[in-house]
Amino acid sequence: MSYHDYKTGQQIEMQEHSFYALIQASMRQADSDNLRMLSSCWPEVWEELQARHKAPGGALPGEEGGNSMVSMWIQAGDSTG
């Protein structure tokens, strides 16, 4: 990690994005090796990101009010991510 990466990380942290938003953004920008690592650590996030990428406007079929797999896990109290 460079000094620039560290300072950028501080700026991103102050914006208070959700953990899963940061993970999916990292997946979008990752090189092949890092994407392999991220998608193996969070396969459900990777699957949902792929589904949303293919879905019109990023909304999954039948979705209302942001009811995604990830948000349902968060509501259920899953802390495995």
- What pLDDT, in 10s, does the model give residues 28-80? 999 999 999 999 999 999 999 999 999 888 888 888 655 556 655 555 555 55
Say which range, 2-11, 15-24, 70-79, has the weakest mean pLDDT: 70-79
Query: Dihedral angle at the C-alpha atoms of 62, 79, 19, 52, nearest 10 degrees?
Result: -20
Size of the chain, expressed as the number of residues it contains: 81
Residues with Cβ within 8 Å of 35's Cβ and at least 6 positions away in sequence, in order, are 27
Overall pTM > 0.95: no
The pLDDT of residue 60 is: 87
The pLDDT of residue 63 is: 83
